[in-house]
Structure 1
Amino acid sequence: MKPIIGLTTFLSEQSKYSTVSRNYVDSIYAAGGVPITIPIVEDKTDYSEYIDLVDGILFTGGNDIAPYYFGENPLKELHSMSSIRDEYELSLFRKAYEKNVPIFGICRGIQLINVALGGSLYQDIYSQIPGALGHSPTQTASDELYHSIQISKHTQLYDIFGEERIFTNSFHHQSVKQLGKNLIATAFSEDGIVEALESTEERFLLGVQWHPECMTKRHPMFLKLFSAFIQASLVHKQKEVSA
């Protein structure tokens, strides 16, 4: 019995396609899950059908989250935004969170988790965080190790990797600022930027700022994140079946 994993999607520039990188699909499949994509449906507010269908949800990377969701006006460094995607994902997250569905967030996904739970973001780390190191290299392959992160002991993330310091890739210019409700930061880059967070409650809710889905083939250690997510989703599925 394999768990069904919903992957959030993004709209193409012409809004003709609701799509997602194949790397997410391959990583979920390699970890033992069955990936399905959840399309962006404009003006939809009830996501019960999707939540009933899946055993876990992966919030994927992409657009900047509109700053008015955390009470700010945009900086000039803000990149692409999509209020359609923001509304759809925030609504989907709230419904999944309410039903205790396992949730994994990657890049934009960690930021979405934080904002949905009342937190805020650095809209642009280079202009807002003095001494920020490199976090969004250009002309660099997505599976290249780029910078180190420090993982806090006695956390879910440490249990997954079993190491206090690892190297990751990095492709972001925003990051978590004020933490949302019932969240704890579990990893930081050397300049103090939050690289991972998880829930303080008894649930699987994990977000990472880097892109492990791009790394699983060349650096198999990153498949551990997906395996932990799949295992939590399988447990959730079994509970639902026996309920």
Structure 2
Amino acid sequence: MKPIIGLALSSRVKPKKVYSVINNDYIKAVQKAGGIPVLIPFSDNLENIKVYTNKIQGIIFTGGEDISPLFYNEEPIKEVQCIIEKRDIFELELFKEVYKKQIPILGVCRGLQLINVALGGSLYQDINVQIHNSNGHLPKYALRSNLYHSVKIEKGSELFVIFKTEDLKVNSFHHQSIKKLGKDLRVTAHSSDGVIEGIESLKEKFLVGVQWHPENLVERHSEFLKLFQALIDNAREI
């Protein structure tokens, strides 16, 4: 039986229209790894969350806009420009529900940051401004399928079990990162400048967050499919 994997959606505003959107690479990665993707648009009706979480066996919190600093008790600096408050509210509640039900969770880029904020952590609102001597993390013209920098994976972590290496090259498309770590989380990967690139839960059976975008790497670098397979393998046990 293929497990149902929820994919949290973002939105795009066009003249006279608003679209719910997702990078199709997430859908292809879930299907290739043996899951059935179900799209979860954010909504004002938070009761929808229980309906979704009664149906899914795993979930991916996807990338996208910055999380409002108000949710970790800070005022925004000028580098924070794109926020969707309704998405933040919906996904923070969605996370609480799947966390409570111990549904396997994968967080990608913003998704990692959302997990951290939901568990009481905070973020660097802009890496270049707030982290001294940081490396590049948001290349302007790089293809999303290109490897960009290295990360160091902690031995004994879920990421180490998945990738079977301490050194991994990844893509990178983020200007924010974890500052204060959330409750019951551990750091499992970081870049050479100290930016946190991976986290996992100290309590949950499978709660993994990565700061890079594995969904965009699956076609050219097949080892990144292992991350989605790990989520789906755990989802089969639900």
Quickly name the TM-score band, shorter chain normalised.
over 0.9
- Cα contact 2:61–2:106 (8 A) shared by 1: yes
Q: Which residue of 2 aligns with 1:5?
A: 5
* Aligned residue identity for 2:56: V
* Aligned residue identity for 1:175: S
Find the residue that maps to 2:95 and give its secondary structure.
helix
Is 1:104 equivalent to 2:106 in the alignment?
yes
- Cα contact 1:45–1:88 (8 A) shared by 2: no
2: CA distance, partners of 1:79 / 1:153: 37
Q: Which residue of 2 aligns with 1:84?
A: 86
Q: Which residue of 1 aligns with 2:157?
A: 155
Find the residue that maps to 1:127 and give its secondary structure.
helix
Q: Which residue of 1 aligns with 2:197?
A: 195
* Aligned residue identity for 1:21: N
Q: Which residue of 2 aligns with 1:94?
A: 96
- The superposition leaves residues 90-110 of structure 1 with CA deviations (integer Å, 9 ceiling, x where unpaired) of 010001101001110000000
Q: Which residue of 1 aligns with 2:210?
A: 208
1: CA distance, partners of 2:12 / 2:32: 26
TM-score (norm 1): 0.95
- Cα contact 1:27–1:216 (8 A) shared by 2: yes
Q: Which residue of 1 aligns with 2:76?
A: 74
Q: Which residue of 1 aligns with 2:176?
A: 174
Task: Note the residue ranges of structure 2 that are not aligned, 5 or more in a row.
Answer: none
> What's the CA shift for 1:43?
4.2
2: CA distance, partners of 1:208 / 1:163: 15
Is 1:145 equivalent to 2:147 in the alignment?
yes
- Cα contact 2:102–2:204 (8 A) shared by 1: no
2: CA distance, partners of 1:140 / 1:98: 38
> Runs in 1 of length 4+ with deviation above 3 angstroms?
none
2: CA distance, partners of 1:232 / 1:43: 29
Find the residue that maps to 2:150 and give its secondary structure.
strand
Find the residue that maps to 1:65 and give its secondary structure.
coil
- The superposition leaves residues 164-200 of structure 1 with CA deviations (integer Å, 9 ceiling, x where unpaired) of 0010000000001111010001000000000000001
2: CA distance, partners of 1:117 / 1:147: 28
Find the residue that maps to 2:54 and give its secondary structure.
helix
1: CA distance, partners of 2:81 / 2:202: 31
Q: Which residue of 1 aligns with 2:229?
A: 227
* Aligned residue identity for 2:41: P
- Trace 1:121-132 onto structure 2 (pairs within 5 A): 121-132=123-134
User: 1:47 aligned to 46, 49, 52, which one?
Assistant: 49
Find the residue that maps to 1:185 and give its secondary structure.
strand
> What percentage of residue pairs aligned between the two structures are identical?
48
* Aligned residue identity for 1:13: V
- Equivalenced residue count is 236
TM-score (norm 2): 0.97
